[in-house]
Amino acid sequence: MSHSPRTAIAQGVLTPRTLSRTYKRRVVKSCALLLAPLSVGLAACSGSSGNSLSATPYDATDAVAVNADADSKDVDPDKPLEVTAQHGDTLTDIFATDSSGHVVAGELSSDGKRWHSTGPLAAGARYTLQVSTENDEGAPGRRSLRFETKPASKHLNVKLGPGSGTYGVGQPLTAELSHRVKGRKQRELVERALKVESRPHVAGSWHWVDGKELHYRPSSYWPAHASITLRSSLKGLKIRDGLYGGGKAKRVRMKTGDRIEAITDASAHVMNVKRNGKTIRSIPVTTGKAGYETRNGIKVILTKEPYVRMTSASIGASDFYDLGVHWATRLTNTGEYVHAAPWSVGSQGVSNTSHGCTGMSSANAKWFFDNVRQGDIVQHVNSEGENMAPFGNGFGDWNLDWKKWSAGSAVNRDKPAGSSPADAARLRPQV
């Protein structure tokens, strides 16, 4: 397949200097190429050599040396592809693509004798290389060959989350990597290979939680009733020497429901539940007492559990309890729930008596359980407790403002910011 200099430069194959040199070489031979590339039957201008555009290219196999054997299946992807002209011939056009049509960027020497790839080759991929030449008489030559690169010694696999389904507007997207990725350039490669699309369109950013985990969210909550798709194009991508993107990860197709926000004022002992900005229920509650204060901040519902056994031993409480709890909606990994607390109905709306959870009557807990889903927002304000951590204890992602969030991206900031989460605490229910 032959490419004009204009096409080649658009695809990153030729540099402007190469383009200029190529035109100088061809302008005398081929004004028809420039003036009427799609015309049929027009006479072509020819140079003094007498060669015309209709000349059949000669077989340039012997005139072109390539450091990848034809039909080879063990080409090293860590080494650049190299093409060298021999016997007085000159390289005029190099075009290398993989089976998906991705073009390999490269650079041609000023004398037209040598070309080498500047973009990485993928591991375990099939390539087609097409070389155009000219001999010392100006006749065009062609050589084409195919080869395969060796499979990667290590694969960077990724698990995308959450699973496909309908979630609340606070649900972040997640990517868990099989190997730790360090350095801006490597992280940028990974980020750009994790594709997020949404309808309606909203801009968002990845944030590196640590070297093996990324979260993605918009600047504010997802729109209600949006469709979001997350997919990976890591396969075959060179991350660093010896590490290449692995097989395809299962695509995530996520939808959002209504915008549900449950805002609990710990000092007023009330939870106001909003749907799409309108308050639909006010619920008397009790939250964490002194020494067990409920965390302030925005939390995202993790799971819904109709029945959970909660014990004092699970959090090291000095006062003993061992209770079966109904209609439990989990907010943190460490066991903070919204749940039914029939034993504290007299305190609900009046005082805080729990060990960190948000307690309410059985009827209200059942209503809450039935009207929320994973990914919905629960926010606590005016508590004496510590602030909800952004990472390591569920999804506290929304507690970072947008500037700090986008600073955790290798793409959106000059200096990648890596926020290391606290070690994930074991699951321990709090009453």
Domain boundaries, the chain: 5-148, 154-256, 260-399
Catalytic-residue membership of 116: no
- Which residue among 3, 155, 215, 357 is the active-site one? 357
Mean pLDDT of the 237-257 span: 92
Q: What is the pTM of this model?
A: 0.68
| Average pLDDT score over the chain | 84
Q: Which of 85, 134, 118 shows the shortest CA–CA distance to 12?
A: 118
Are the folds of 154-256 and 260-399 the same?
no
Is 51 a residue whose pLDDT tops 50? Answer: no
CA distance 328 to 336: 9
pLDDT band at 33 (very low <50, low <70, confident <90, very high): very low
Topology of domain 154-256, CATH: Immunoglobulin-like (2.60.40)
Q: What is the pLDDT of residue 90?
A: 94
pLDDT of residue 321: 63
Between 424 and 294, residue with greater pLDDT:
294
Q: What is the mean pLDDT of residues 226-252?
A: 92
CA distance 35 to 53: 13
**The pLDDT of residue 425 is above 60:** no
Q: Identify the bridge partners of residue 218 per DSSP, sorted by sequence position.
A: 204
Could you confirm whether domain 5-148 is CATH 2.60.40.3780?
yes
CATH architecture for residues 260-399: Beta Barrel (2.40)
Of these ranges, 2-16, 17-31, 42-56, 112-126, the one predicted with the greatest mean pLDDT is: 112-126
State residue 302's pLDDT score.
97
Mean pLDDT computed over 199-227? 97
Report the range of poorest mean pLDDT among 204-218, 238-252, 342-356: 238-252
Which of 118-132, 147-161, 301-315 shows the lowest per-residue confidence on average (mean pLDDT)? Answer: 301-315
Question: Taking the chain, what is the end-to-end CA distance rounded to the nearest angstrom?
Answer: 71
- pLDDT grade for 34, boundaries at 50, 70 and 90: very low
Whether the pLDDT of residue 168 is over 60: the answer is yes
pLDDT higher than threshold 80 for residue 336: yes
Residue-level pLDDT at 317: 56
So what's the pLDDT on residue 100?
77
Average pLDDT of span 49-58? 59
Could you give the CA distance from residue 330 to residue 374 in angstroms, rounded to a whole number? 9
Task: Report which of residues 382 and 320 the model is more confident about.
Answer: 382
Mean pLDDT of 337-344: 97
- List 215, 339, 355, 380, catalytic entry: 339
CA distances from 356 to 199, 264, 309, 320, 335 (A): 38, 13, 15, 15, 9
| Res. 99: pLDDT tops 90 | no
Among this protein's residues, is 207 annotated catalytic? Answer: no
Convert the pLDDT of each residue in 393-422 to its tens digit: 999 999 999 999 999 999 987 543 333 333
Q: Which SS3 state, helix, strand or coil, does residue 322 take? A: strand
